[in-house]
Structure 1
Amino acid sequence: MKKIGIVGIGNILFKDEGIGVFVVKYLEENYQFNPNIDLIDAGTLGFRLMEYLEDYEHLILIDTISIKDKPGSVFRLTDEELVGIGSYHQTAHEVEVVQMLELTALKGNRAEVIIIGIIPENICSSEIGLTETLEDIPFKTAVAQVLKELEKLGITYKKVNNKTLKEVVIKNFGSYNGELINKRITNEDYRHS
């Protein structure tokens, strides 16, 4: 059986920078896959990406991509195409992704890699959650493209929940665009003790 992984890359603390991680968490909360695949929240993993590139046969990486195009545009790239885009290397983890792809290519034993890259609108503001530009059509397009890639690899899937992006992010990270899980402790909490 093929070892397949979906890897969400990005820093969830900087708005659209977290879209790769949010896609993985959304898939984890809403879908079942047959046979099972690994859904990996890689954050800004850096050199740890090498482990995944060497241990899996197929990887789908989801990340923001810094190329000149309209925010919210979604691209499907091979690893060779990504390495060839000079303007891509704008954030620290983008540089690390390219370095790991290049290093593992030199070693010879590496997963087949597809990158789903989304043009961000804002990766500077410190807040968990996507901009309005990315949270509807681009997010859904990225999810649909990942599912399409899985179908090509012989993976079937079934939607088992209808959790929204906002619900998924609040459950996993505690807030979404300033809206928090209500964890306020009140006097009522102490009266029952």
Structure 2
Amino acid sequence: MRKQLSSTQPRVLVLGIGNILWADEGFGVRAVEAFHQAYSVPDNVTILDGGTQGLYLVQFVAETDYLIVFDAIDYGLTPGTLKIVENDEVPKFTGAKKMSLHQTGFQEVLSAADLLGRYPEKLALIGCQPVDLEAWGGPLTEPMKAVIPEAIRTAVAFLAGWGIEVRARSGSTVPSLLGNDIDFDHYERRAEPAALNS
């Protein structure tokens, strides 16, 4: 449930999308999970694992002034490369080039928010070039894991540029963003032996 905010505070959403069951397709979810573990945020910022919810995300996007999205995107670059896309450069419509397995669904989310007249004022897509999108049940590949800290720093820099201050967490136990043992520590450790045996 969202807290009542001052009308002067922008509503900010830090969103990870993707499917952790398909190796590097889970990058966005793992990045937003790591962001949640590393930083506490003010009341006007929501951190959300969007998974593969597609149009169910419209309600969240439509309530957002500033939006950061983590995602695995096939740009045809060197695996593990981050590429940042901002504002009008982020594809909005399903006719745009499909850049990831689930992106058409998120393009529809953005289009729906636009049609409702509630498109985010600021939008940053932090995409990473995947290595493997086809290893069912496999963990993130090493190049994807290695770039998560840089992706998080990029998000923090965007937030700072938008006047949003986050604070590094220190020493306290943080509730998991993902339940049912699908958080990074539980799922990825189980997935690694399975991937090695496949």
- Normalising by structure 1, what TM-score? 0.79
How far residue 131 of structure 1 moved from its aligned partner, in angstroms, is: 0.2
**Greater fraction strand:** 1
Q: Which residue of 2 aligns with 1:55?
A: 63
The residue correspondences of 1:73-92 to structure 2 (distance < 5 A) are 73-83=81-91, 86-91=96-101
Alignment partner of 1:146 out of 133, 151, 155: 155
Residue type matched to 1:65 in 2? Answer: I
CA apart distance, 1:168: 9.1
Aligned equivalent of 1:4, options 2, 12, 33? 12
Aligned pairs, number: 175
Alignment of 1:54-133 (within 5 A): 54-83=62-91, 86-91=96-101, 93-112=102-121, 113-127=123-137, 129-133=139-143
2:138/2:191 contact within 8 Å kept: no
- State which structure, 1 or 2, has the greater radius of gyration over its C-alpha atoms: 1
- Where 1:175 maps in the other structure, the secondary structure is helix
Dislocated runs of 4+, deviation >4 Å: 167-171
Partner residue, 1:190: none
Cα RMSD between the aligned structures?
Answer: 2.7
Hey, what does 2:46 align to over in structure 1? Answer: 38
TM-score between both structures, scaled by the size of structure 2: 0.77
Question: Distance between the aligned counterparts of 1:146 and 1:118, measured in 2?
Answer: 13
Unaligned runs of 5+ in 2: 1-8, 193-198
**Identical residues among aligned pairs (%):** 24
Contact 1:35-1:155 within 8 A present in 2 as well: no
Task: Give 2:39's aligned amino acid.
Answer: Y
| Runs of 5+ consecutive residues of structure 1 not aligned to the other structure | 181-193
Report the 3-state secondary structure (helix = DSSP H, G, I; strand = E; otherwise coil) of the residue aligned with 2:79: coil
Is the helix fraction higher in 1 or 2? Answer: 1
User: Could you say which residue in structure 1 is the equivalent of 2:25?
Assistant: 17
The letter for the 2-side match of 1:99 is E
